[in-house]
Amino acid sequence: MKPSFYDLNYSDLETLVNQNNLNHSAASALFNWHYKKKENRPCVDKLSKAAMAFFNDHFDFSLPEIDTVHESSDRTVKFLFKLKDHHKVETVLIPFHNKYSICLSSQVGCAMNCSFCFTGKQGFTRNLTTSEIVGQFIQAWRWLAANRPGEERILNIVFMGQGEPLHNFDAVKKACEIFLSKHGTSVGIQKITISTAGYIPGLERWSEEIPGVNLALSLHSPFEEKRNELIPINKKYPLDQVLATIDKIPLNKKQFVTYEYILIKDFNDTAEDAEKLGALLVGKSAYINLIPFNAFPGSHYKSPALDKIEKFKGVLDTFKIPTLIRTAKGDDVLAACGQLNSKNAPNLP
In the three-class reduction of DSSP (H, G, I as helix; E, B as strand; rest coil), residue 69 is classed as strand
Segment interacting with ligand SAH, rule: CB under 6 A, options 18-26, 37-45, 81-89, 287-295: 287-295
The residue range among 17-25, 62-70, 71-79, 289-297 that interacts with ligand SAH, by the rule CB under 6 A, is: 289-297
- Going from the C-alpha of 190 to that of each of 82, 177, 213, 218, 274, the distances in angstroms are 30, 13, 6, 19, 28
Instruction: Give the sign of the dihedral formed by CA 168, CA 169, CA 173, CA 179.
Output: positive
Residue 333 in contact with ligand SAH, rule: CB under 6 A: no
Give 16-35 as a DSSP string.
Answer: HHHHTT--TTHHHHHHIIII
In sequence order, the β-bridge partners of residue 323 are 288
Q: Is 43 a catalytic residue?
A: no
Query: Quick one: which segment of 112-120, 126-134, 279-287, 306-314 binds ligand SAH (CB under 6 A)?
Result: 112-120
Q: Which is nearer to ligand SAH, 291 or 315 (CB)?
A: 291
Cα separation of 317 and 295, whole Å? 27
Is residue 204 flagged as an active site residue?
no
**Under rule CB under 6 A, residue 91 binds ligand SAH:** no
Do 80 and 61 form a contact (C-beta atoms < 8 A)? Answer: no
Closest-approach residue to ligand SAH (CB):
338
**Contact flag: residue 139 with ligand SAH (CB under 6 A):** no
- Round to whole Å and give the CA distance between 197 and 165: 9
Widest distance between CA atoms in the chain: 68
Residues ≥6 apart with Cβ < 8 Å to 275:
315
Kindly tell me which residue out of 51, 171, 337, 345 binds ligand SAH, with binding defined by CB under 6 A: 337
Q: Closest separation between CB of residue 248 and ligand SAH, Å?
A: 19
User: Minimal distance in Å, beta carbon 83 to ligand SAH?
Assistant: 18
Give the Cα-Cα-Cα angle 86, 88, 89 (nearest 5 degrees).
150
Q: From the CB of 332, what's the least distance to ligand SAH, in Å?
A: 15
- The DSSP symbol for 1 reads -
Are 237 and 200 within 8 A, CB to CB? yes
- The total number of residues shown for the chain amounts to 349
Verify binding: residue 293, ligand SAH, rule CB under 6 A. Answer: yes
| Burial class of residue 154 in the structure, from the number of CB atoms within 10 Å of its CB (0-12 exposed, 13-18 middle, 19+ buried) | buried
Q: Confirm or reject binding of residue 117 to ligand SAH (CB under 6 A).
A: yes
The alpha carbon torsion through 162, 163, 168, 171 (nearest 10 deg) reads 0
Q: Give the nearest distance from C-beta 265 to ligand SAH in angstroms.
A: 12
- 160 binds ligand SAH, rule: CB under 6 A: yes
Contact residue for ligand SAH among 7, 90, 132, 164 (CB under 6 A): 164
The residue from 63, 187, 203, 262 that contacts ligand SAH (CB under 6 A) is 262
Site track for ligand SAH across 191-220, x = CB under 6 A = ----xxx--------------------x--
Asked if residue 291 binds ligand SAH (CB under 6 A), the reply is: yes
Catalytic residue among 43, 90, 103, 164: 90
What's the CA gap between 35 and 42, in Å, rounded?
A: 12
Q: Please, what is the minimum distance in Å from the beta carbon of residue 164 to ligand SAH?
A: 4
Q: Which of 294, 323, 341, 342 binds ligand SAH (CB under 6 A)?
A: 294
Please state the closest distance from residue 93 (CB atom) to ligand SAH, in A. 15
Q: Quick one: which H or E segment has residue 154?
A: strand 154-159
Sign of CA dihedral 156, 162, 164, 169: negative
The window from 51-59, 89-97, 286-294, 316-324 that contacts ligand SAH (CB under 6 A) reads 286-294
Helix or strand (DSSP H, E) at 278: helix 271-281
Binding site for ligand SAH (CB under 6 A): 112, 116-117, 160, 164, 195-197, 218, 260, 262, 291, 293-294, 337-338
Catalytic positions: 90, 337
